[in-house]
Structure 1
Amino acid sequence: MAIFCRTLTTFAALAALALSGPAFAADGQPSDWQLGFQKAATPIMEQITNFHTYVTIIITVIALFVLGLMIYVMSRFNEKRNPLPSRTSHHTPLEIAWTVLPILILVAIAIPSFRLLFAQYDFPKADLTITATGSQWYWTYEYPDHGISFDSIMIKDADLKEGQPRLLSVNNEVVVPVGKNIIVQVKANDVIHDWAIPSFGIKIDAVPGRLQTTWFRAEREGWFYGQCSELCGRNHAFMPIAVRVVSEQEFDNWLNTKAAAAPDSEGKVAAVEN
Protein backbone atom coordinates (compact mmCIF):
# COMPACT_ATOMS: atom_id res chain seq x y z
CA MET A 1 0.00 0.00 0.00
CA ALA A 2 2.86 2.36 0.84
CA ILE A 3 4.49 1.65 -2.53
CA PHE A 4 1.20 2.38 -4.30
CA CYS A 5 0.82 5.69 -2.45
CA ARG A 6 4.37 6.75 -3.33
CA THR A 7 3.79 5.83 -6.98
CA LEU A 8 0.53 7.77 -7.05
CA THR A 9 2.24 10.79 -5.49
CA THR A 10 5.02 10.65 -8.08
CA PHE A 11 2.55 10.54 -10.97
CA ALA A 12 0.58 13.42 -9.46
CA ALA A 13 3.76 15.50 -9.17
CA LEU A 14 4.70 14.76 -12.79
CA ALA A 15 1.20 15.68 -13.95
CA ALA A 16 1.33 18.97 -12.04
CA LEU A 17 4.70 19.72 -13.57
CA ALA A 18 3.45 18.93 -17.07
CA LEU A 19 0.48 21.26 -16.62
CA SER A 20 2.51 24.11 -15.15
CA GLY A 21 3.60 27.03 -17.31
CA PRO A 22 7.38 26.49 -17.14
CA ALA A 23 6.95 22.89 -18.30
CA PHE A 24 5.97 24.09 -21.76
CA ALA A 25 8.76 25.06 -24.13
CA ALA A 26 9.34 28.73 -24.77
CA ASP A 27 8.79 30.06 -28.27
CA GLY A 28 11.98 29.50 -30.25
CA GLN A 29 14.20 28.42 -27.36
CA PRO A 30 14.33 25.94 -24.47
CA SER A 31 12.93 26.77 -21.04
CA ASP A 32 13.50 25.55 -17.50
CA TRP A 33 11.80 22.24 -16.65
CA GLN A 34 10.67 21.88 -20.22
CA LEU A 35 8.72 18.77 -21.19
CA GLY A 36 8.22 17.90 -24.83
CA PHE A 37 9.26 19.64 -28.00
CA GLN A 38 9.59 23.36 -28.52
CA LYS A 39 6.53 24.98 -30.06
CA ALA A 40 6.40 24.24 -33.78
CA ALA A 41 7.09 27.19 -36.07
CA THR A 42 7.05 25.38 -39.42
CA PRO A 43 4.72 22.88 -41.14
CA ILE A 44 7.43 20.21 -40.95
CA MET A 45 7.84 20.58 -37.19
CA GLU A 46 4.06 20.48 -36.86
CA GLN A 47 4.06 17.12 -38.65
CA ILE A 48 6.94 15.87 -36.50
CA THR A 49 5.05 16.80 -33.32
CA ASN A 50 1.85 15.13 -34.52
CA PHE A 51 3.73 11.99 -35.59
CA HIS A 52 5.50 11.84 -32.22
CA THR A 53 2.18 12.07 -30.37
CA TYR A 54 0.64 9.43 -32.64
CA VAL A 55 3.48 6.95 -32.09
CA THR A 56 3.56 7.67 -28.35
CA ILE A 57 -0.12 6.70 -28.09
CA ILE A 58 0.53 3.46 -29.98
CA ILE A 59 3.53 2.39 -27.89
CA THR A 60 1.73 3.33 -24.66
CA VAL A 61 -1.23 1.12 -25.58
CA ILE A 62 1.16 -1.73 -26.46
CA ALA A 63 3.07 -1.33 -23.20
CA LEU A 64 -0.14 -1.34 -21.15
CA PHE A 65 -1.44 -4.38 -23.03
CA VAL A 66 1.79 -6.32 -22.43
CA LEU A 67 1.80 -5.28 -18.76
CA GLY A 68 -1.80 -6.42 -18.35
CA LEU A 69 -1.06 -9.68 -20.14
CA MET A 70 1.94 -10.37 -17.91
CA ILE A 71 -0.08 -9.70 -14.75
CA TYR A 72 -2.87 -11.98 -15.99
CA VAL A 73 -0.46 -14.79 -16.86
CA MET A 74 1.38 -14.53 -13.54
CA SER A 75 -1.92 -14.59 -11.68
CA ARG A 76 -3.80 -17.17 -13.72
CA PHE A 77 -1.05 -19.63 -14.56
CA ASN A 78 1.24 -19.62 -11.54
CA GLU A 79 2.36 -22.87 -9.93
CA LYS A 80 0.01 -22.47 -6.98
CA ARG A 81 -3.11 -22.34 -9.14
CA ASN A 82 -1.81 -24.81 -11.71
CA PRO A 83 0.20 -27.57 -10.01
CA LEU A 84 -0.07 -29.60 -13.22
CA PRO A 85 1.12 -27.38 -16.08
CA SER A 86 -0.59 -27.48 -19.44
CA ARG A 87 1.20 -29.41 -22.17
CA THR A 88 -0.30 -27.33 -24.99
CA SER A 89 2.49 -26.48 -27.44
CA HIS A 90 0.71 -24.76 -30.33
CA HIS A 91 -2.29 -22.51 -30.82
CA THR A 92 -2.70 -21.68 -34.50
CA PRO A 93 -5.14 -18.73 -34.19
CA LEU A 94 -2.94 -17.16 -31.49
CA GLU A 95 0.23 -17.54 -33.58
CA ILE A 96 -1.53 -15.95 -36.58
CA ALA A 97 -2.73 -13.09 -34.39
CA TRP A 98 0.69 -12.26 -32.92
CA THR A 99 2.17 -12.31 -36.42
CA VAL A 100 -0.47 -10.29 -38.25
CA LEU A 101 -1.17 -7.66 -35.58
CA PRO A 102 2.45 -6.41 -35.32
CA ILE A 103 2.55 -6.17 -39.12
CA LEU A 104 -0.58 -4.02 -39.10
CA ILE A 105 0.86 -1.83 -36.34
CA LEU A 106 4.10 -1.32 -38.28
CA VAL A 107 2.14 -0.41 -41.42
CA ALA A 108 0.08 2.09 -39.40
CA ILE A 109 3.35 3.69 -38.24
CA ALA A 110 5.08 3.50 -41.62
CA ILE A 111 2.43 5.36 -43.64
CA PRO A 112 2.61 8.69 -41.73
CA SER A 113 6.37 8.23 -41.38
CA PHE A 114 6.82 8.04 -45.17
CA ARG A 115 4.49 11.01 -45.57
CA LEU A 116 6.69 13.04 -43.20
CA LEU A 117 9.90 12.00 -44.97
CA PHE A 118 8.42 13.00 -48.32
CA ALA A 119 7.47 16.42 -46.96
CA GLN A 120 10.98 16.92 -45.55
CA TYR A 121 12.85 16.00 -48.72
CA ASP A 122 10.47 17.22 -51.43
CA PHE A 123 11.88 20.75 -51.61
CA PRO A 124 9.47 23.47 -52.76
CA LYS A 125 10.46 26.29 -55.09
CA ALA A 126 12.84 28.54 -53.19
CA ASP A 127 11.86 32.10 -52.31
CA LEU A 128 15.27 32.60 -50.68
CA THR A 129 18.48 30.57 -50.61
CA ILE A 130 20.99 30.70 -47.75
CA THR A 131 24.32 28.91 -47.38
CA ALA A 132 25.43 28.00 -43.85
CA THR A 133 29.08 27.02 -43.41
CA GLY A 134 30.29 25.54 -40.13
CA SER A 135 33.79 26.31 -38.85
CA GLN A 136 35.53 25.78 -35.53
CA TRP A 137 33.64 27.39 -33.84
CA TYR A 138 31.21 29.72 -35.59
CA TRP A 139 28.87 29.86 -38.59
CA THR A 140 29.28 31.81 -41.81
CA TYR A 141 26.14 32.70 -43.75
CA GLU A 142 25.78 33.71 -47.36
CA TYR A 143 22.82 35.06 -49.29
CA PRO A 144 24.14 34.20 -52.78
CA ASP A 145 21.31 35.94 -54.64
CA HIS A 146 22.02 39.20 -52.79
CA GLY A 147 25.81 39.16 -52.46
CA ILE A 148 25.69 39.15 -48.66
CA SER A 149 28.03 37.18 -46.39
CA PHE A 150 28.76 37.45 -42.67
CA ASP A 151 30.04 35.47 -39.70
CA SER A 152 27.76 34.62 -36.80
CA ILE A 153 29.62 34.33 -33.49
CA MET A 154 28.27 33.69 -30.01
CA ILE A 155 28.01 36.71 -27.72
CA LYS A 156 30.01 36.24 -24.53
CA ASP A 157 28.26 36.38 -21.17
CA ALA A 158 29.82 39.72 -20.28
CA ASP A 159 28.43 41.33 -23.45
CA LEU A 160 24.87 40.02 -23.24
CA LYS A 161 22.08 42.59 -23.28
CA GLU A 162 18.83 42.27 -21.38
CA GLY A 163 16.61 39.61 -22.88
CA GLN A 164 19.37 37.87 -24.83
CA PRO A 165 19.56 34.15 -23.95
CA ARG A 166 22.90 32.88 -22.72
CA LEU A 167 24.85 30.56 -25.06
CA LEU A 168 22.30 31.18 -27.83
CA SER A 169 22.70 34.86 -28.75
CA VAL A 170 24.96 35.82 -31.65
CA ASN A 171 26.38 39.05 -33.03
CA ASN A 172 24.74 38.52 -36.45
CA GLU A 173 21.64 36.36 -36.77
CA VAL A 174 20.11 34.92 -39.93
CA VAL A 175 17.16 37.05 -41.03
CA VAL A 176 14.38 35.59 -43.18
CA PRO A 177 10.88 36.71 -44.23
CA VAL A 178 7.84 35.05 -42.69
CA GLY A 179 5.81 32.63 -44.79
CA LYS A 180 8.50 32.13 -47.45
CA ASN A 181 10.22 28.92 -48.56
CA ILE A 182 13.83 29.10 -47.41
CA ILE A 183 16.36 26.67 -48.90
CA VAL A 184 19.41 26.20 -46.67
CA GLN A 185 22.59 24.73 -48.11
CA VAL A 186 24.82 23.41 -45.34
CA LYS A 187 28.55 22.63 -45.50
CA ALA A 188 31.67 22.73 -43.31
CA ASN A 189 35.23 24.02 -43.60
CA ASP A 190 37.00 21.66 -41.20
CA VAL A 191 35.16 18.93 -39.28
CA ILE A 192 31.56 17.73 -39.19
CA HIS A 193 29.15 20.22 -37.62
CA ASP A 194 25.35 20.13 -37.51
CA TRP A 195 22.85 22.91 -38.25
CA ALA A 196 19.85 22.34 -36.00
CA ILE A 197 16.84 24.45 -35.00
CA PRO A 198 14.30 22.50 -32.91
CA SER A 199 11.33 24.81 -33.58
CA PHE A 200 11.83 24.36 -37.32
CA GLY A 201 12.26 20.58 -37.20
CA ILE A 202 15.73 20.92 -38.79
CA LYS A 203 18.81 18.89 -37.92
CA ILE A 204 21.28 18.35 -40.75
CA ASP A 205 25.00 17.58 -40.74
CA ALA A 206 27.50 20.02 -42.21
CA VAL A 207 30.11 17.75 -43.78
CA PRO A 208 33.42 18.91 -45.29
CA GLY A 209 33.44 18.36 -49.05
CA ARG A 210 29.67 17.87 -49.27
CA LEU A 211 26.73 20.21 -49.77
CA GLN A 212 23.66 19.18 -47.78
CA THR A 213 20.30 20.83 -48.37
CA THR A 214 17.24 21.37 -46.22
CA TRP A 215 14.34 23.81 -46.15
CA PHE A 216 11.85 25.51 -43.87
CA ARG A 217 8.94 27.94 -43.96
CA ALA A 218 8.44 29.86 -40.73
CA GLU A 219 4.76 30.57 -40.11
CA ARG A 220 5.20 33.37 -37.58
CA GLU A 221 7.64 36.13 -36.74
CA GLY A 222 10.07 35.90 -33.84
CA TRP A 223 13.48 34.67 -32.72
CA PHE A 224 14.35 31.01 -33.06
CA TYR A 225 17.50 29.40 -31.70
CA GLY A 226 19.50 26.25 -32.22
CA GLN A 227 23.00 24.92 -31.65
CA CYS A 228 25.59 22.84 -33.41
CA SER A 229 24.42 19.30 -32.73
CA GLU A 230 27.49 17.31 -33.78
CA LEU A 231 30.47 17.07 -31.43
CA CYS A 232 33.07 19.14 -33.30
CA GLY A 233 35.78 19.97 -30.80
CA ARG A 234 36.67 21.96 -27.71
CA ASN A 235 34.16 24.79 -28.26
CA HIS A 236 31.37 22.67 -29.71
CA ALA A 237 28.90 24.06 -27.16
CA PHE A 238 29.65 27.65 -28.15
CA MET A 239 28.51 27.92 -31.78
CA PRO A 240 24.77 28.69 -31.57
CA ILE A 241 22.35 29.34 -34.41
CA ALA A 242 19.94 32.26 -34.33
CA VAL A 243 17.23 32.97 -36.90
CA ARG A 244 15.05 36.08 -36.82
CA VAL A 245 11.81 35.80 -38.78
CA VAL A 246 10.44 39.19 -39.84
CA SER A 247 7.87 40.70 -42.16
CA GLU A 248 8.71 40.99 -45.84
CA GLN A 249 9.07 44.76 -45.57
CA GLU A 250 11.43 44.48 -42.61
CA PHE A 251 13.43 41.84 -44.47
CA ASP A 252 13.81 44.15 -47.47
CA ASN A 253 15.03 46.91 -45.16
CA TRP A 254 17.54 44.52 -43.61
CA LEU A 255 18.80 43.50 -47.05
CA ASN A 256 19.29 47.13 -48.01
CA THR A 257 21.21 47.81 -44.81
CA LYS A 258 23.47 44.81 -45.33
CA ALA A 259 24.04 45.60 -49.00
CA ALA A 260 25.02 49.17 -48.14
CA ALA A 261 27.69 48.00 -45.68
CA ALA A 262 31.24 48.08 -47.05
CA PRO A 263 32.91 44.67 -47.54
CA ASP A 264 35.77 43.93 -45.19
CA SER A 265 39.30 42.86 -46.17
CA GLU A 266 38.11 39.27 -46.77
CA GLY A 267 35.27 40.36 -49.02
CA LYS A 268 32.55 39.75 -46.42
CA VAL A 269 29.95 42.32 -45.59
CA ALA A 270 30.84 44.08 -42.37
CA ALA A 271 28.83 43.15 -39.29
CA VAL A 272 25.77 45.29 -38.82
CA GLU A 273 23.92 45.36 -35.53
CA ASN A 274 20.31 44.29 -36.09
Structure 2
Amino acid sequence: MAHPAQLGLQNAASPIMEELLHLHDHAMMVVFLISTFVLYTITLLITTTLTHTGTMHAQLMETVWTILPAIILILIALPSLRILYLMDEISNPHLTIKTTGHQWYWSYEYTDYESLTFDSYMTQTQDLAAGTLRLLEVDHHTTIPTNSPTRMLITADDVLHSWAVPALGIKTDAVPGRLNQTTFTASRPGLFYGQCSEICGANHSFMPITVEATNLPSFEAWSTTMLNSSL
Protein backbone atom coordinates (compact mmCIF):
# COMPACT_ATOMS: atom_id res chain seq x y z
CA MET A 1 0.00 0.00 0.00
CA ALA A 2 1.35 3.42 -0.91
CA HIS A 3 1.15 5.55 2.23
CA PRO A 4 0.25 9.16 1.29
CA ALA A 5 2.08 10.62 4.29
CA GLN A 6 5.53 9.37 3.28
CA LEU A 7 8.16 11.90 2.28
CA GLY A 8 8.75 12.41 -1.44
CA LEU A 9 6.94 10.64 -4.24
CA GLN A 10 4.89 7.53 -3.56
CA ASN A 11 6.14 4.11 -4.62
CA ALA A 12 5.22 3.38 -8.22
CA ALA A 13 2.29 1.02 -8.79
CA SER A 14 2.12 1.32 -12.59
CA PRO A 15 4.63 1.37 -15.47
CA ILE A 16 3.85 5.04 -16.20
CA MET A 17 4.60 6.06 -12.61
CA GLU A 18 7.89 4.14 -12.79
CA GLU A 19 8.82 6.17 -15.87
CA LEU A 20 7.85 9.39 -14.09
CA LEU A 21 10.05 8.48 -11.12
CA HIS A 22 12.97 7.82 -13.46
CA LEU A 23 12.41 11.19 -15.15
CA HIS A 24 12.29 12.90 -11.74
CA ASP A 25 15.58 11.30 -10.71
CA HIS A 26 17.15 12.19 -14.06
CA ALA A 27 16.08 15.84 -13.82
CA MET A 28 17.17 16.11 -10.17
CA MET A 29 20.62 14.75 -11.04
CA VAL A 30 20.99 17.39 -13.77
CA VAL A 31 19.91 20.11 -11.32
CA PHE A 32 22.35 18.79 -8.70
CA LEU A 33 25.29 18.84 -11.13
CA ILE A 34 24.45 22.37 -12.31
CA SER A 35 24.07 23.62 -8.73
CA THR A 36 27.39 22.05 -7.74
CA PHE A 37 29.17 23.65 -10.70
CA VAL A 38 27.65 27.08 -10.00
CA LEU A 39 28.56 26.86 -6.29
CA TYR A 40 32.12 25.84 -7.21
CA THR A 41 32.40 28.78 -9.63
CA ILE A 42 31.06 31.26 -7.08
CA THR A 43 33.52 29.95 -4.48
CA LEU A 44 36.42 30.44 -6.89
CA LEU A 45 35.34 33.98 -7.73
CA ILE A 46 35.02 34.93 -4.08
CA THR A 47 38.26 33.37 -2.88
CA THR A 48 40.65 34.14 -5.77
CA THR A 49 43.01 37.10 -5.59
CA LEU A 50 43.43 37.28 -9.35
CA THR A 51 41.64 40.06 -11.23
CA HIS A 52 41.56 41.13 -14.85
CA THR A 53 39.56 44.24 -15.61
CA GLY A 54 40.65 44.56 -19.21
CA THR A 55 38.73 41.58 -20.65
CA MET A 56 36.24 42.82 -23.24
CA HIS A 57 35.07 39.53 -24.74
CA ALA A 58 35.59 35.78 -24.49
CA GLN A 59 34.03 34.16 -27.53
CA LEU A 60 34.88 30.59 -26.55
CA MET A 61 33.29 30.98 -23.11
CA GLU A 62 30.21 32.70 -24.55
CA THR A 63 29.82 29.88 -27.08
CA VAL A 64 30.09 27.22 -24.39
CA TRP A 65 27.58 28.82 -22.02
CA THR A 66 25.13 29.20 -24.91
CA ILE A 67 25.41 25.69 -26.35
CA LEU A 68 25.77 23.76 -23.09
CA PRO A 69 22.41 24.86 -21.57
CA ALA A 70 20.69 24.02 -24.86
CA ILE A 71 22.14 20.49 -24.73
CA ILE A 72 21.07 20.11 -21.10
CA LEU A 73 17.50 21.19 -21.93
CA ILE A 74 17.37 18.65 -24.78
CA LEU A 75 18.56 15.89 -22.43
CA ILE A 76 15.64 16.72 -20.13
CA ALA A 77 13.03 17.36 -22.84
CA LEU A 78 13.48 14.13 -24.83
CA PRO A 79 12.58 11.67 -22.03
CA SER A 80 9.83 14.04 -20.91
CA LEU A 81 8.22 14.03 -24.38
CA ARG A 82 8.55 10.25 -24.54
CA ILE A 83 6.61 9.82 -21.30
CA LEU A 84 4.03 12.38 -22.44
CA TYR A 85 3.25 10.30 -25.52
CA LEU A 86 3.17 7.09 -23.47
CA MET A 87 0.60 8.64 -21.13
CA ASP A 88 -1.62 9.62 -24.07
CA GLU A 89 -1.40 6.22 -25.75
CA ILE A 90 -4.60 4.19 -25.32
CA SER A 91 -4.89 0.90 -27.19
CA ASN A 92 -7.10 -2.12 -26.52
CA PRO A 93 -7.97 -1.58 -22.82
CA HIS A 94 -9.25 -4.65 -20.96
CA LEU A 95 -11.59 -2.60 -18.76
CA THR A 96 -13.28 0.78 -19.11
CA ILE A 97 -14.55 2.75 -16.12
CA LYS A 98 -16.42 6.03 -16.29
CA THR A 99 -16.17 8.28 -13.25
CA THR A 100 -18.19 11.42 -12.65
CA GLY A 101 -17.28 14.05 -10.09
CA HIS A 102 -20.03 15.57 -7.97
CA GLN A 103 -20.04 18.00 -5.07
CA TRP A 104 -18.59 16.15 -3.18
CA TYR A 105 -18.30 12.49 -4.11
CA TRP A 106 -17.44 10.30 -7.08
CA SER A 107 -19.72 7.97 -9.01
CA TYR A 108 -18.40 5.05 -11.06
CA GLU A 109 -19.80 3.11 -13.98
CA TYR A 110 -18.13 -0.03 -15.31
CA THR A 111 -19.17 0.32 -18.93
CA ASP A 112 -18.26 -3.28 -19.85
CA TYR A 113 -21.01 -4.48 -17.49
CA GLU A 114 -24.72 -3.88 -17.89
CA SER A 115 -25.53 -2.34 -14.50
CA LEU A 116 -22.37 -2.10 -12.42
CA THR A 117 -22.55 1.44 -11.00
CA PHE A 118 -22.06 2.87 -7.53
CA ASP A 119 -21.31 6.09 -5.67
CA SER A 120 -18.17 6.47 -3.57
CA TYR A 121 -18.39 8.64 -0.45
CA MET A 122 -15.71 9.39 2.11
CA THR A 123 -16.00 7.25 5.24
CA GLN A 124 -16.75 9.41 8.25
CA THR A 125 -14.25 9.39 11.11
CA GLN A 126 -16.59 7.67 13.55
CA ASP A 127 -17.19 4.84 11.04
CA LEU A 128 -13.53 4.10 10.25
CA ALA A 129 -12.31 0.55 10.76
CA ALA A 130 -9.03 -0.07 12.57
CA GLY A 131 -6.00 0.56 10.39
CA THR A 132 -7.77 2.64 7.73
CA LEU A 133 -6.77 6.16 6.83
CA ARG A 134 -8.81 9.15 7.95
CA LEU A 135 -10.09 11.42 5.12
CA LEU A 136 -8.88 8.90 2.51
CA GLU A 137 -11.04 5.82 3.06
CA VAL A 138 -14.31 5.48 1.10
CA ASP A 139 -17.35 3.25 1.42
CA HIS A 140 -16.90 1.68 -2.05
CA HIS A 141 -13.46 1.06 -3.53
CA THR A 142 -12.78 1.41 -7.24
CA THR A 143 -11.69 -2.17 -7.85
CA ILE A 144 -9.53 -3.13 -10.85
CA PRO A 145 -7.59 -6.25 -11.90
CA THR A 146 -3.80 -6.12 -11.83
CA ASN A 147 -1.74 -6.30 -15.03
CA SER A 148 -4.76 -5.32 -17.13
CA PRO A 149 -4.83 -2.02 -19.08
CA THR A 150 -7.65 0.07 -17.63
CA ARG A 151 -9.18 3.10 -19.33
CA MET A 152 -10.72 5.84 -17.21
CA LEU A 153 -13.37 8.12 -18.73
CA ILE A 154 -13.55 11.20 -16.52
CA THR A 155 -16.16 13.94 -16.41
CA ALA A 156 -18.01 16.12 -13.90
CA ASP A 157 -21.64 16.83 -13.18
CA ASP A 158 -21.43 20.33 -11.69
CA VAL A 159 -18.03 22.06 -11.36
CA LEU A 160 -14.40 21.28 -12.18
CA HIS A 161 -12.92 18.28 -10.38
CA SER A 162 -9.72 16.30 -10.91
CA TRP A 163 -9.29 12.52 -10.58
CA ALA A 164 -5.78 11.96 -9.21
CA VAL A 165 -4.04 8.85 -7.85
CA PRO A 166 -0.31 9.61 -7.40
CA ALA A 167 0.88 5.99 -7.04
CA LEU A 168 -0.63 5.18 -10.46
CA GLY A 169 0.71 8.34 -12.10
CA ILE A 170 -2.75 9.72 -12.89
CA LYS A 171 -4.12 13.23 -12.66
CA THR A 172 -6.89 14.08 -15.13
CA ASP A 173 -9.33 16.98 -14.93
CA ALA A 174 -13.06 16.28 -14.73
CA VAL A 175 -14.80 18.98 -16.77
CA PRO A 176 -18.60 19.35 -17.04
CA GLY A 177 -19.74 18.60 -20.58
CA ARG A 178 -16.39 17.08 -21.56
CA LEU A 179 -15.21 13.46 -21.44
CA ASN A 180 -11.49 13.14 -20.76
CA GLN A 181 -9.74 9.80 -20.81
CA THR A 182 -6.57 8.29 -19.45
CA THR A 183 -5.17 4.80 -19.05
CA PHE A 184 -3.09 2.93 -16.51
CA THR A 185 -2.05 -0.60 -15.59
CA ALA A 186 -1.72 -1.57 -11.94
CA SER A 187 1.45 -3.64 -11.70
CA ARG A 188 0.83 -4.99 -8.19
CA PRO A 189 -2.11 -5.53 -5.84
CA GLY A 190 -2.84 -3.05 -3.10
CA LEU A 191 -4.82 0.00 -2.02
CA PHE A 192 -3.88 3.28 -3.72
CA TYR A 193 -5.25 6.57 -2.45
CA GLY A 194 -5.90 9.86 -4.18
CA GLN A 195 -8.05 12.95 -3.85
CA CYS A 196 -9.79 15.52 -6.00
CA SER A 197 -6.96 17.82 -7.06
CA GLU A 198 -9.09 20.73 -8.22
CA ILE A 199 -10.51 23.25 -5.76
CA CYS A 200 -14.18 22.44 -6.27
CA GLY A 201 -15.92 24.05 -3.31
CA ALA A 202 -16.26 24.00 0.46
CA ASN A 203 -15.88 20.22 0.81
CA HIS A 204 -13.12 19.87 -1.76
CA SER A 205 -10.92 18.11 0.81
CA PHE A 206 -13.53 15.44 1.49
CA MET A 207 -13.92 13.56 -1.80
CA PRO A 208 -11.08 11.02 -1.74
CA ILE A 209 -10.37 8.22 -4.22
CA THR A 210 -9.47 4.66 -3.23
CA VAL A 211 -8.36 2.27 -5.97
CA GLU A 212 -8.09 -1.38 -4.98
CA ALA A 213 -6.02 -3.55 -7.32
CA THR A 214 -6.62 -7.30 -7.01
CA ASN A 215 -5.92 -10.40 -9.04
CA LEU A 216 -8.39 -11.38 -11.76
CA PRO A 217 -10.31 -14.08 -9.82
CA SER A 218 -10.85 -11.68 -6.91
CA PHE A 219 -12.01 -8.96 -9.29
CA GLU A 220 -14.49 -11.32 -10.95
CA ALA A 221 -15.84 -12.35 -7.55
CA TRP A 222 -16.19 -8.66 -6.54
CA SER A 223 -17.97 -7.73 -9.78
CA THR A 224 -20.37 -10.66 -9.42
CA THR A 225 -21.20 -9.60 -5.87
CA MET A 226 -21.78 -6.00 -6.93
CA LEU A 227 -24.01 -7.05 -9.82
CA ASN A 228 -26.09 -9.31 -7.60
CA SER A 229 -26.50 -6.57 -5.00
CA SER A 230 -27.79 -4.15 -7.65
CA LEU A 231 -30.52 -6.50 -8.85
TM-score when scaled to structure 1?
0.82
User: Which residue among 3, 8, 28 is the counterpart of 2:2?
Assistant: 28
User: Which residue among 134, 151, 162 is the counterpart of 1:166?
Assistant: 134
1:29 shift after superposition: 2.8
Aligned to 1:14: none
Structure 1 runs (4+) greater than 3 angstroms displaced: none
User: Which residue among 4, 7, 20 is the counterpart of 1:48?
Assistant: 20
User: More relative contact order in 1 or in 2 (CA 8 Å, sep 6+)?
Assistant: 2
Alignment check: 8 A CA contact 1:29 1:226 kept: no
Which entry has the higher C-alpha Rg, 1 or 2?
Answer: 1
**Percentage identity across paired residues of the two chains:** 42
User: Which residue among 211, 218, 221 is the counterpart of 2:189?
Assistant: 221
**Ranges in structure 2 where 5+ consecutive residues have no aligned partner:** none
SS class of match (1:261): helix
Q: Which amino acid aligns with 2:163?
A: W
Aligned to 2:53: 86
Given the alignment of the two structures, is residue 128 of structure 1 paired with residue 95 of structure 2, yes or no? yes
Alignment check: 8 A CA contact 1:192 1:206 kept: yes
Aligned to 2:225: 257
User: Which residue among 156, 159, 169 is the counterpart of 1:188?
Assistant: 156
Greater shift in the superposed pair: 134-143 or 119-128 = 119-128
Greater shift in the superposed pair: 128-137 or 143-152 = 143-152
User: Which residue among 195, 198, 203 is the counterpart of 1:230?
Assistant: 198
Q: Which amino acid aligns with 2:140?
A: N
**Ranges in structure 1 where 5+ consecutive residues have no aligned partner:** 1-26, 264-274
CA gap 1:136/1:69 in 2 versus in 1, 3 angstroms = same
CA distance in 2, matches of 1:175, 1:131: 13
Show CA shifts across 1:40-62 (max 9, x none): 00000000001000100000100
CA distance in 2, matches of 1:251, 1:106: 44
CA gap 1:189/1:70 in 2 versus in 1, 3 angstroms = same
Q: Which amino acid aligns with 2:79?
A: P
Show CA shifts across 1:105-151 (max 9, x none): 01111111111111101113110000010000000000011021110
